[in-house]
Amino acid sequence: MIKCFIWMIMGILCPLSMLHATCQGADLRAQLTASERRTLAAFQRDTPYPSGNHWLAVKGPHRINVIGTVHIGDPRLAPVFSTIKPVLAAADRIYLEMTPLEERQLQKAVSERPELMFITAGPTLIDLLPAEEWHQLAKAAQARNIPGFMAAKFQPWYLSMLLSIPACAMSALTQGNKGLDHRIMGFAAEREIPLTALEPYDTIFSLFASEPLETQIQMMRAGLLSDTDSSDGLATLLNSYFDQSHASAWYLSKLHAKRVASLTDSEIDATFERMQQTLLNRRNVAWVPKMQQFPNETAVVAVGAAHLHGSQGVLQLLENAGYQLTRQPF
């Protein structure tokens, strides 16, 4: 579970190498109304860099290939990896959200400091939530092979990530890591290409620790979906990724939550805005100055595709810093 947790906190979802064989979700884009399609089109039009999973950023001698990854295994990654392999092979260094070194550091920290994942003092979730709501959460956790007594002690933000995984996919948690990130790690190890993390291993913990408990609980409520709804959301996310439409994936995730979660539309908007600021924007703003300090070498930056789009996305921030960006094959 700890190994899966490491990748959940980096990409919200754990890499499930046999997901399609385990869960059969529907692509929600086929169910959009005409009004929703127009709203989505307007969102994509108004969002900087809404699509494209591979971009080249150039500023003088600086050359950075920015690759949007998915932390979830999928058979469709095979041709993608074949396309980007020459770019990886030509890199002097590859930068990731987390390298094997940070994975080991995080795994050690989680095993030695249970307070990172668990409520170790004060009221548990049983005490913090209304009885009916706790019953729903406990049932959802049990469907994922997590006993209720254990779920009650999880930090709310961590339980929200567990609940984001469809129950039908939990059996795949013990299978090998096949997300694009790990494919890149394996290739770098084979070719002896240096790997560097863009941030310390405990960054996510620090970000969530700064969030009020009620905000974490709202995130957890937003993630409390039926197994069918979870599977549909995940299928839509993956299909959008392979269509290289990462901005639409974010928009559709929020729309889906509004349709099926128990929160009001305004609560969903506020929760997603908070998640975007915490999980994406604050990290992007911290990464790009580091990228500007890279040595004059050919670098690859491979991060979750959700980090690419938006006014505070990695691509727009690089453009703001004077880089010329051109879309590349993927």
> Would you say residue 205 lies in a domain?
yes
Name the domain count of the chain: 1
DSSP H helices, 164-200, are 180-191
Measured CA to CA, the distance from residue 65 to residue 310 in angstroms comes to 18
Range of the domain at 174: 2-6+54-117+154-327
> Would you say residue 81 lies in a domain?
yes
The pLDDT score that the predictor gives to residue 261 is 79
Please give the single-letter amino acid code of residue 281: N
The mean predicted confidence, pLDDT, of the chain is 87
Where the chain has pLDDT below 50, the residues are 1-21, 174, 177
Please give the single-letter amino acid code of residue 117: M
310-326: pLDDT as tens digits: 999 999 999 999 999 99
CB 301 within 8 A of CB 291: yes
Measured CA to CA, the distance from residue 87 to residue 94 in angstroms comes to 10
> Would you say residue 24 lies in a domain?
no
pTM over 0.85: yes
> Would you say residue 112 lies in a domain?
yes
Measured CA to CA, the distance from residue 251 to residue 4 in angstroms comes to 26
| DSSP assignment string, 264-321 | -HHHHHHHHHHHIIIIIIHHHHHHHHHHHTS-SSEEEEEEEGGGTSSTTSHHHHHHHT
